[in-house]
Structure 1
Amino acid sequence: MKTTKFIAVFMLFASTSIINSFGQEPNTNKKSKTETKISYVCSMHPDIKGKNGDKCSKCGMALSEKKKQIYTCTMHPDVMSNKLGKCSKCGMDLIEKKTKM
């Protein structure tokens, strides 16, 4: 009797799991976490933003890829900022971080 109840419960669980798996569609449209959004700006008017192939609404120039600048302290490389300023640890001026290619 216990064996038949166990088999019945197991079959019910297995069939429910199988039916649920058929109802789900794989989502292939999700962007991976490593993909980053590239922004395009006018070199003359940095407030004008768009996507690849757009033109500036003020001057008509093609928008170019915006380069991200990172500033760091020469004494404390762990201190980083996206704008010029002073190091929070020693007060030295931050310099632009050189990217390795």
Structure 2
Amino acid sequence: MTHARLAFLAPLALAACSNTPPGSGVAALTPLNDTAVLAANCTTCHGVEGRGSGDIPALRGRPATQLAERMLAFKDHRVTGASATVMPLMMQGYSATQIEALAQWFAKETP
């Protein structure tokens, strides 16, 4: 395949993989109405549906305000040292609106 074809196809491939409507000018990694997709990253450590896993605390059923504050504390680097683990880095990938959506999602059911 020639370089000209690749140069033409690369933007098309990126657009096809994007969650952003063409021409919107707004970058969105994941639609907020699909919070379960956002929460999937959390289940790696916090267990299925955030129900806890070993020494890692459960998220499911905790008050949304408590969850949001904790996630924002990680994002703002107010939690440091051993208790921070990888969370400050993980939270950098989420906006405040997405953090609020995650907090509401995990709070919606009891463990």
Query: Is the shorter-chain TM-score for this pair beyond 0.5, marking a shared fold?
Result: no
The normalised TM-score by structure 1 is 0.25
The normalised TM-score by structure 2 is 0.24
Give the structure with the higher percent strand.
1
Q: Which structure is larger by alpha-carbon Rg, 1 or 2?
A: 1
Q: Which has the higher contact order (CA 8 A, sep 6+)?
A: 2
